[in-house]
Amino acid sequence: MTVNLTAPVTSLYVHVPFCAQKCEYCAFYSEASSGELINRYVAALVQELAMVASDLKPRTIFFGGGTPSLLTLAQWKTLLQAMEKLHLLGAAEFTIESNPATVSADKCKLLRDFGVNRISMGVQSLDEKLLDRLGRIHSRAQVFKSFDLLRAAGFDNVNLDLMFAIPTQTMEHWRDTLNEAMAMQSEHLSSYEVIYEDDTPLFAQLQAGEFSVDEELASAMYEELISCSTAAGFQQYEIANFARDNPRLPSHACQHNVNYWRGGSYYGLGPSATGYVRGRRTKNWANTQLYCEQLEKGQRAIESSEELSPLRRAGEIAAFGLRMNAGWPFADFQRTTSFDLRQEWQGEMAKLQAHGWAKISDDRFHLTPQGLRFADAAAEMFLR
């Protein structure tokens, strides 16, 4: 694999671990927390940013969580001013995840003034009962109000995040949410099937027999998502992601995530964040208190670090790239990893094609629409 040892890293992910309350389905590292710990986290994050700034020239920045928009105006100002001093602003794509209940006109203006140009809003559903079922803190009315605030502040690249196959959700509920979401005319749509992760209230309820999973309905909802979004002018470019414009890679595709799927390097900062820089993967401690303590001592809060073998990393890159509709052009894969997909994974590719889940052409390998539905199972075959 060709690794440039001198060029600065161009992607930055920052994890903000705070939420107003934990959602029923969430397995990400997050916590409901006090203002004092958040202030301490912001100071620690500024320290961590300073430690890597000399090796960063961000083209994409993504603040995820948790709920980044939960930070106060003062906390955001501290962070963004520090990033400005460290010459980390000016990214072509600067995304912040937000909850509709924590969007304000003042916050929108501040973010725009410092170069934030993309907002990903966690809508999940536009049905009040289902929002309550998921443990969300926002109402449907707040979704529309927040969207209007974002537009008024000049945000012209907004993603709406939706979920389907929610317990008790019917096809009628799903169609209603999709139709209302399409009418909002956002530039991007992300939509995920509910996943039942260990150690979440939703998983415990499933185990206790409070509801059952209807795979057939989930598949039908996924088909409805593709049909409805396509009719509204979106192009699917990854299993769960849809954007407007060019079908191969729409101009409103999330460039930060495309970097992940195409095997690019990125710094991951904040509690629990993972990074991948020059062949080495790091993972920060998933503990905000410990994260702050480490940085207050003047050291990175890295829990683990490993160097992947070229073949193992190439297998991961193959697996991630198959999530995209375009799959892997053979020349691009070889340029990225130094491996030929047709040699190292010939058997796996043939098996998927025979199953109807994939297609091999002269220049590329990609999953079929049916294969995309089961992309995780297909991707596992490429891991080494």
Domain ranges of the chain: 9-261, 311-380
Return all residues near 359 (Cβ < 8 A) that are at least 6 apart.
353, 365, 366, 367, 368
Phi then psi for residue 298, to 5 deg, are: 85, 25
C-beta separation of 279 from 317 below 8 A: no
With 60 as the cut, is the pLDDT of residue 22 above it?
A: no
The whole-angstrom separation of Cα 156 and Cα 253 is: 13
Q: At 55, is the secondary structure helix, strand, or coil?
A: helix
Per the DSSP assignment, residues forming a β-bridge with 304 are: 283
**pLDDT at 135 (0 to 100):** 78
Q: Do domains 9-261 and 311-380 have the same CATH topology?
A: no
Options 3.20.20.220, 3.40.50.10860, 3.80.30.20, 1.10.645.10; CATH for 9-261 is 3.80.30.20
Characterize the bridge pairing of strands 188-193 and 241-244: antiparallel
pLDDT digit string (tens) for 64-123? 988 899 999 999 999 999 999 999 999 999 999 999 988 999 999 999 999 999 999 999
pLDDT above 90 covers what percent of the chain?
A: 77
pLDDT score for 246: 52
Cβ neighbors of 85 (< 8 A, separation 6 or more) are none
Q: From 27, 20, 15, 190, select the one nearest 102 (Cα to Cα).
A: 20
**End-to-end C-alpha distance for the chain, whole angstroms:** 15
Distance between CA atoms of 118 and 310, rounded to whole angstroms? 34
For residue range 31-66, list pLDDT tens digits in order: 676 678 999 999 999 999 999 999 999 999 999 988
Q: Any bridge partners for residue 277, and if so which?
A: 280
Query: What is the value of pTM for the model shown?
Result: 0.92
Q: Rounded mean pLDDT of the chain?
A: 90
Strand partners, 98: 121
Token output for 264: 């690019």
**Tens digits of per-residue pLDDT, 191-240?**
998 875 666 565 566 566 666 677 899 999 999 999 999 999 999 999 99
Amino acid at residue number 359: K
* Integer Rg of the chain from CA: 21
Q: How far apart are CA 56 and CA 88, in angstroms?
A: 7
pLDDT of residue 19: 78
- Whether the CB-CB separation of 295 and 322 falls below 8 Å is answered with no
Question: Among all chains, which residue has been given the structure tokens 């009315």?
Answer: 141
d(CA 2, CA 194): 37
Per-residue pLDDT averaged across 256-278, rounded? 96
10, containing H or E segment: strand 9-16
Domain at 311-380, CATH from 1.10.3720.10, 1.10.3210.10, 1.10.10.920, 3.20.20.450:
1.10.10.920
Indicate the DSSP class of residue 285. Answer: -
Q: Using one digit for the tens of pLDDT, what is the confidence trace for 161-190?
A: 999 988 888 999 999 999 999 999 999 999
